[in-house]
Amino acid sequence: MRTGSKLLLVAALVLATATATAPAAAETAPDPGYVTLPPYQGPAPVVEAAPASAAPTVAGRRLLARLDAVAARLAAAGSTAYQAATVVDERRGSYRWDCSGMMNWLLQRSAPAARRRLGSSRPVARDYVRVIAAAPMAPARGRGGWQQLRRVDELQPGDVFAFLRAPISLSKVSGHVGVVVSAPVAVPGWPGVYAVRIVDSTRARHDDDSRAGDGIGGFGYGTITFGTDDAGAPIGYGWAGTAMPWIVKTRIVLGRVVR
């Protein structure tokens, strides 16, 4: 387990302990806001970023191609950082933004109808949750550039996830949003849990994360997990993938850009 993942696990344990209410009686125990999983055994599931051609829509392929271009510029001596204001200099390969700032910039260039549907001049994660939740369920025709997916195992490269700040979270942000770049992989020994490779902007690293552990953060690749209900719909996330045996409950939506 990576040092960063261990720190995330400790943070999750502290957060859950500090915010969960001890039950007065077994029959009236409140929902603590998370699901405890057994410690993961064995190698982490292999989840690799797919090529842009793997996306199911033209807009999704453009989105993945744009991600590839950003990653290439960063690999060629570019720089990135996590910050509230979006400041991009493509010529210099400089990308400074938070998660929603990254998504807004990407959609404006790859799926402009989906970006317009968000309405606000500066949409944040909760706006993505609202818009995706109102979109027609695939395979119905999209509206305003979006389709909604019901199940985690329906995710394909180029799809978008968004979730609200968890009730047990101490963060002040509205939630989180990012791009799926792999098909989900069922996690052995954790029924209903899937590992997914994503791209986002954050300071807190995920499992198998491409970002340096220097606290600057920004654009990067990482692996998270989604927990699901009996119908396969998402009920929570594991920020550090299989390195963190917790699924933090919150509202999660899954979207597909169509134009």
Mean pLDDT of 183-192: 98
Mean pLDDT of the chain: 91
57 in a structural domain: yes
Look at the chain and report how many structural domains it folds into: 1
Torsion of CA 201, 202, 205, 206, to 10 degrees: -60
Encode pLDDT of 61-97 as tens digits: 999 999 999 999 999 999 999 999 999 999 999 999 9
Q: Evaluate whether residue 27 is within a structural domain.
A: no
Cβ neighbours around 166 below 10 Å, total: 22
Residue 163 in tokens: 């979730």
**Is 99 a member of any domain?**
yes
Q: What's the rounded mean pLDDT across residues 225-234?
A: 99
Q: What is the pLDDT of residue 1?
A: 45
Q: What b/e readout covers 121-132, taking b as 16+ CB neighbours within 10 angstroms?
A: eebbbbbbbebb
56 within a domain of the structure (yes/no): yes
Considering the domain boundaries, does residue 25 fall inside one?
A: no
> Could you tell me the residue range of the domain that residue 214 belongs to?
3-19+32-257
Q: Does residue 108 form part of some domain?
A: yes
Is position 216 within any domain? yes
Residue 217 is assigned to a structural domain of this protein: yes
Give the DSSP H/E element, type plus range, for residue 5. Answer: helix 3-19
